[in-house]
Homo-oligomer: A and B are copies of this chain.
Amino acid sequence: MKPINIGILGLGTVGSGTVGVLRSNAAEISRRLGRDVNVFMVSTRNAEKAREVCPESTLVTADPFEVVRHPDIDIVVEVFGGTEIAKDLVLEAIQNGKHVVTANKKLLAEYGNEIFALAEQKNVMVQFEAAVAGGIPIIKALREGLAANNIRSIAGIINGTSNFILTEMREKGSAFADVLKKAQELGYAEADPTFDIEGHDAGHKITIMSALAFGTPVNFNACYLEGISKLDSRDIKYAEELGYRVKLLGITRKTEKGIELRVHPTLIPESRLLASVNGVMNAVRVDADMIGETLYYGAGAGSKPTASAVVADIIDISRLLTADPGNRVPHLAFQPSQVKPQNMLGMDDITSSYYLRVQVKDEPGVLGQIANILAKEGVSIEALIQKGVLDQTDAEIVILTHSTVEKNINTAIAAMEALECVHGPVVMIRMESLHG
């Protein structure tokens, strides 16, 4: 069978990783696929690097639009990044009948609906395994492996930078700012780390997984984002004393009232597998009605792991090229006609348990007042520990609640903060038991 011709947009970390994987493992890939994958053309401003990285036969251009317009290219690999030019490139590639592989989570979380609609119309495939959790084949699991299930929830550690920082904060008791600096020195965090540490990156990924799980359009606007930059290492320590770890989780869950979609620091019991996922590693836990709990673990970023997913997508497309388009795996797991909006819950309406830390005047009666406030909102207490006195006059109370609706907690927190004996804001971190 004749080689499949690919064109790569951008020769950064993932782009050059993709060429590297295709070259190093050319024999193994051909043994599996039954044909060769040919890097026909790349676009980059750095022609010198292209000549180092690519086979001699590869055409090199500075103009990415030349790639999406070239008649001999079967599959366009978009590892260009950003959303402006990348979107134009992807749409024009599809318009020209080319299949697309992209690692661009932001592009899909924000413009996925438009892209998939055009792809359906033009009968081409858009694959995006590399966009979520790097090389871990979680998109394939959600679209294909678990296709017999009603998926109930997904919870994932899907930002390596944040997980590295949280791991260091726990293991060394260091402050957020210090660990961030170390992460930047090690190359685990960008010079401007906002995108990672404030939950945007995790938000893009959980948004994509939510659509695949529940058969809805992608809806990044509905995703609640809360990062880790305000986390106090004291709370990580207290959580550990109570048998919990703090992780930045992307969570999506189908409830009777609607779909929850959120990213925030979360306490999880230390006995759960997700609690043991440390450093820059990623893991996604899926709960589904027939299979129950499954978990997928691996490297969530990096040149080679991400390229592993890009190349798997190239292989998949090459295999499906001859299939009746109606029989291909649908982009969002469900047939396009079956992708339907569902009610998205605001944060006030989500259900969770909560960790609260309250700084109080160390005097009799304080505990009672706080307990009364929680009782009034119907919030029951799972555990309460009074921590040692902070200074001459103040103490800290740490409370774990049972499951409740978030607006009740917010009301209770406001009432606590209005008490004279409560000093400063109440710290609130959400908890997940990860039991179904």
Contact = CB atoms under 8 A, between A and B. Distances in A.
B318 A327 contact: yes
Nearest to A149: B308
B31 A334 contact: yes
Interface residues of A, number: 67
Given A31-B334, A273-B273, A298 B292 contact: yes
Interface of A: 1, 21-22, 24-25, 28-29, 31-34, 129, 134-137, 140-141, 144-150, 215, 273, 276-277, 288-299, 304-305, 307-312, 315-316, 318-324, 326-330, 333-335, 338
B148 A137 contact: no
A297 B295 contact: yes
26 contacts: A22-B148, A32-B147, A34-B327, A135-B294, A137-B140, A137-B141, A137-B146, A140-B140, A140-B141, A144-B315, A145-B309, A146-B308, A147-B312, A148-B315, A288-B308, A289-B304, A291-B305, A291-B309, A293-B297, A294-B297, A295-B295, A296-B297, A319-B328, A320-B327, A321-B327, A322-B323
A374 to B, nearest CB: 33
Given A215-B31, A327-B321, A308 B21 contact: no
A147 B305 contact: no
Given A25-B149, A32-B334, A137-B141, 13 more contacts: A25-B289, A28-B149, A28-B150, A129-B145, A135-B290, A141-B141, A148-B307, A148-B308, A291-B298, A291-B304, A321-B327, A322-B323, A323-B327
A144 B140 CA distance: 9
A94 B320 CA distance: 23
